């Protein structure tokens, strides 16, 4: 029996590509199968075959090279000597970004399988990732048509650096930052609201005190806001400051309050990091104890072959965690159809608060004392039962007159651990 109490590793972006990996489904036509292969290629973190891994490396390399060229272009000495090389390299990388964007438009249906192709394309275009991908290449070509706006378009090219966030697909630790901000967004918004109120109140108070004395400095409420921002969030820039005694006292109070106010979001984020890492560690420590996994390989004659997962009548508490199809790992969504040869990793909650049950697998060798005996004649404890015999990749339902042969794998269940018949039974005898 192939019983496992460990996690099956999947690619980080596999959950995003839910239907894309069911390429062996006979109901999928060749065009759709080709589009799913392209989607797998452009999806970050799907590295099941060489072309997908190569595209990930190429995409990251193009981005890093583009950013390096952008930085080197800011040096006048380098730009004067290598401007032609810099422009050529930038053009190549930008063209790659444009091709990547077109491929993502083409495969948008795979990213949003519940929508029609046109709706999926529109959703991708206006998504955060789609906007960043668009700004990665489009502003480069705009000065050709609108030379007057070259400086503005060049500023938009900075959006390319946001493509680096796709590296999060490889490193779960980087995702902790996003998780913390999302979990603590309510507290962070409250702290920001407090900061804004303090800024407005302090700026109006300082304007009222200092305007009669230095109207050219505190000329309006905005001047007070600039002073309050620099005082609350920093030690001040010195370009604008109070000169009256009341204004100086107000400045001291605001400076002290600023230390505490800035500490509020810092403390929230720090506490969020501790909670998130503790939660991840707890999940990692408890996963093997809370869920037991078993692997089953489907044969052509099995009733589940050809059925969708949503149509299976699984007992309560039993789940299909992962489907292994050849070299591909499939996340079991409801509309995935099972095929012959699929290996199903099935999980169930471990027994809690009930009588413990222990499973044992015994491989019968030629010299094993069970070789050639009927099950009813085995010298095993009354609390131990033979539940299955695996013989030449087939399962034999045990009966009293079933004879055990050499090479059989005998599966036993017992209410006691380690000892089955008064003596230890090893896995292979």
How many of the other CB atoms lie within 10 Å of CB of 343? 14
How many of the other CB atoms lie within 10 Å of CB of 104? 22
Tokens of 266: 């810092």
Domains 298-349 and 358-414 fall in the same CATH topology: yes
Q: Closest Cα partner for 1 from 352, 411, 427, 418?
A: 411
CA distance 116 to 129: 19
Helix (H, G, I), strand (E, B) or coil at 291: strand
How many of the other CB atoms lie within 10 Å of CB of 367? 8
Please give the CATH architecture assigned to the domain spanning 298-349.
Answer: 2-Layer Sandwich (3.30)
Helix (H, G, I), strand (E, B) or coil at 343: strand
Contact 339, 21 (CB under 8 A): no
CA distance 26 to 48: 21
Distance between alpha carbon 195 and the CA centroid of its chain, in Å? 33
Decide: pTM greater than 0.85. Answer: no
Q: Which residues contact 343 (CB under 8 A, 6 or more apart)?
A: 295, 296, 297, 298, 323, 324, 325
The structure tokens 């109006």 sit at 204
Measured at the CA of 31, the angle between CA 28 and CA 32, to 5 degrees, comes to: 45
**Class of 358-414 per CATH?**
alpha beta
Q: Where are the domains of the chain?
A: 30-167, 183-287, 298-349, 358-414
Q: What is the pLDDT along the chain (429 residues), one digit of tens a residue?
A: 334 333 333 333 434 444 444 444 455 578 888 888 898 888 876 666 888 889 888 988 998 898 898 889 888 888 889 889 998 998 999 999 999 999 999 999 888 887 888 999 999 999 988 888 898 888 888 877 776 666 666 777 777 777 777 665 555 556 677 778 888 888 889 988 988 888 888 888 888 898 888 888 888 888 888 888 887 777 666 778 888 999 889 888 888 888 887 788 888 888 888 887 777 665 544 444 445 667 788 888 888 888 888 788 777 667 788 888 877 788 787 778 888 888 888 876 555 555 555 677 788 888 888 888 888 888 776 667 788 888 877 778 888 888 888 888 888 877 665 544 433 344 433
CA distance 325 to 24: 9
CA distance 253 to 226: 17
H helical segments located in 107-238? 108-111, 117-125, 128-135, 138-145, 150-156, 172-183, 185-210, 221-233
Tell me the sheet residues that pair with 292.
348
Please give the CATH architecture assigned to the domain spanning 30-167.
Answer: Up-down Bundle (1.20)
| Whether CATH 1.10.287.70 fits 183-287 | yes
Helix (H, G, I), strand (E, B) or coil at 234: coil
How many Cα atoms are found within 13 Å in the side-chain-facing hemisphere of 240? 22
CA distance 261 to 241: 20
């Amino acid at each position: 029996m192939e019983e496992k109490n460990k996690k099956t590793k999947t690619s980080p972006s596999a959950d995003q590509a839910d239907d894309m990996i069911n390429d062996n489904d006979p109901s999928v036509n060749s065009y759709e199968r080709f589009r799913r292969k392209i989607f797998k290629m452009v999806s970050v973190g799907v590295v099941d075959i060489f072309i997908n891994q190569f595209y990930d490396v190429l995409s990251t390399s193009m981005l890093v090279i583009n950013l390096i060229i952008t930085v080197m272009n800011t040096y006048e000495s380098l730009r004067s000597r290598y401007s032609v090389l810099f422009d050529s390299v930038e053009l190549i990388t930008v063209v790659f970004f444009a091709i990547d964007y077109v491929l993502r438009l083409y495969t948008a249906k795979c990213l949003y399988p519940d929508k029609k192709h046109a709706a999926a394309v529109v959703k991708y275009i206006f998504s955060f990732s789609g906007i960043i991908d668009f700004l990665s290449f489009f502003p480069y070509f705009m000065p050709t048509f609108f030379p007057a706006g070259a400086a503005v378009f060049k500023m938009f090219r900075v959006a390319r650096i946001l493509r680096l966030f796709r590296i999060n697909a490889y490193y779960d630790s980087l995702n902790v930052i996003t998780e913390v901000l999302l979990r603590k967004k309510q507290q962070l918004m409250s702290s920001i609201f407090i900061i804004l109120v303090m800024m407005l109140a302090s700026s109006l108070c300082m304007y009222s005190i200092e305007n009669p004395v230095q109207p050219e400095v505190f000329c309006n409420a905005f001047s007070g806001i600039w002073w309050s921002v620099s005082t609350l969030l920093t030690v001040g820039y010195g370009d604008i400051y109070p000169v009256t005694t009341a204004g100086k006292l107000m400045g001291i109070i605001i400076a002290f309050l600023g230390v505490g106010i800035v500490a509020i979001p810092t403390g929230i984020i720090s506490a969020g990091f501790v909670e998130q890492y503790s939660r991840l560690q707890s999940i990692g420590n408890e996963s093997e104890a809370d869920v037991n996994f078993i692997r089953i390989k489907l044969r052509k004659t099995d009733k589940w072959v050809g059925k969708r997962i949503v149509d299976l009548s699984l007992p309560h508490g039993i789940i299909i965690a992962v489907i292994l199809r050849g070299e591909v790992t499939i996340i079991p969504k409801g509309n995935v159809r099972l095929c012959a040869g699929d290996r199903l990793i099935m999980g169930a909650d471990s027994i809690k608060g009930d009588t413990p049950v222990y499973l044992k697998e015994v491989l019968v060798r030629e010299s094993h004392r069970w070789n050639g005996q009927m099950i009813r004649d085995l010298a095993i404890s009354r609390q131990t039962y033979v539940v299955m015999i695996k013989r030449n990749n087939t399962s034999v339902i045990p009966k009293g007159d079933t004879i055990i042969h050499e090479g059989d794998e005998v599966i036993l269940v017992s209410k006691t651990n380690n000892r089955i018949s008064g003596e230890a039974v090893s896995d292979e005898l």
